[in-house]
Copies of this chain bind each other. A is one copy, B any other.
């Protein structure tokens, strides 16, 4: 579409340049506001951490600062607008992605930014300033969420995650779908009520209710998990909560897009139709499995590259860059194929942690972890401070008391319908039962966060979506501040033990109300055991330098294939690790640290490992299984040294720091 427009003066060109420059300066200033907000948040977090103040997490704090800045922007600053005062008429019958405008012989290119509801048009003209601090909602999905989700997958505590895989999958898939429908139905009741008493100012269909159910079903207990991590709460509870929240984000994204895709044929666009329903279900399955496959595939390719280009280990910068680019390309590939990038990135992160991580040099292991930790930190705090800001700067809030009260009730009911019935069913099959205080804790930890926000801000064009967005903001604020802030109280109220050494626990006494005593050794489910054997015997040897050589695990007929796929390291590995430069010892020496606590010296740990053949030929006994899982569980290295006991007043020593201290002490002695 080209618009040929009327001729004007030659000064237009300069004026346009001035305007573009002005706009760029304004953009810089707006971004600067956020950067300063984050800086302020960091300094305050530091103060909190320093004073061991646990009632407010950094994300909650970022929201408060965001709120304050939002108030200032909304009420204190008024920028008179002088540029939007021309109204013209013209004929265009489409809205293409690119528009060419001909002004006095010069062509200007315009790109489509999005649709604006008709009642906003005046606002836009009045308040350019507020609109400027409003980011394109796609920024959240395409820039800020991916590092958060990748980091979640990359830092998953693998041992306890895989031990509880069945329960986690049940909570994440069955639980999220149940929660979505419970919330959807309940909200539909509310909407009916509102229509009856005339409190509804626009359309609100059942699919909208379901969509609302899907977006508020994505839990994000980052606040709770930070406290769990600090207080060393039971690792199984941690794994259940973390695993569920990570996976249900993925489920909620795909579920919400399937609900949006529900479009019955013909005119009756908001009635039930079996074919459309089936199609939505097909979309759900297709998108989810496609994203899953893509994520895993990229992870495996990265593992293979880092496995075959072993000398890449000498160049940590190249290795880290490669790792970063491959992980990012997962996202882009998934988006380009029409799958969901965020979901692909999650599974890519998990695959990278499980395979590629073992092939990286120790330097790159640190670098990648630190890089994604930083990106996650910045993105998360940015999103939460933006959430605070947008409560005041967003112009189309629809706060409806009935809908809000209904939403809070629905969220509570949905969470309850997810946790309690599922836990009951799961306990029938689990040897290591999920005790009732754990269930209450999981119920309580159903915070809503970044994903819910990103999903709800993505489309705020209609009345229904605007009401959802406003309500979602309140749900997030409430859960992050109240539930997040009350975690320590809830933990002590539920008598959940803190300060548990994740690696040495064999039984848990739950206090007067619980009677279960359990052993972590023998709880593996049958399908986990099958997967584990396959992974240990075939995948790990092909993709990493750990694990047994393939010819020890493959049948004899596959001998030549096994020899060609097995790395020389695996053979050295079998020869009981005589070579002190072998990669395995390095890994092993690193990992063994996680068994002991902080006071164990590296010398002792080193002596311990050099005598113990780990990861040799395939053994299927429970001890080997347990040891192997600990071996792959790099995250524990961090936790092992971060140990902060609740009553401890000294500063928490941080991982590399403690290495350094030890190193320095050796140097000084």
Contacts and interface: CB of A to CB of B under 8 A. Distances in A.
A142 B121 CA distance: 30
Interface string A99-123: 1110111111111111111101100
B90 A5 contact: yes
Contact of A20 (B43, B112, B311, B335): B112
A176 to B, nearest CB: 25
A406 to B, nearest CB: 29
Interface in A74-106: 83-84, 86-101, 103-106
A24 B322 contact: no
Contacts of A20: 97, 112, 114
A317 B320 CA distance: 18
A357 to B, nearest CB: 16
Given A107-B118, A117-B107, A317-B373, A23 B97 contact: yes
Contacts of A96: 19, 83-84, 86
Contacts of A589: 664, 667-668
A474 interface: no
A333 to B, nearest CB: 6
A572 B310 CA distance: 47
A296 to B, nearest CB: 18
Nearest to A111: B113
Contact of A88 (B92, B97, B335): B92
> How many chain copies?
2
Contacts of A118: 105-107
A318 B88 contact: no
Contacts of A553: none
A1 B86 contact: yes
Contacts of A399: none
Given A35-B328, A42-B325, A110-B111, 8 more contacts: A3-B92, A8-B94, A23-B112, A28-B332, A83-B97, A88-B90, A95-B101, A107-B121
Interface of A: 1-6, 8, 12-13, 15-16, 19-20, 22-26, 28-29, 31-32, 35-36, 38-39, 42-43, 45-46, 49-50, 83-84, 86-101, 103-118, 120-121, 124, 128, 138, 305, 309, 311-312, 314-318, 320-322, 324-326, 328-329, 331-333, 335-338, 341, 361-363, 366-367, 370-371, 373-374, 377-378, 580, 585-586, 589, 602-603, 605-606, 610, 651-652, 654, 656-657, 659-660, 663-669
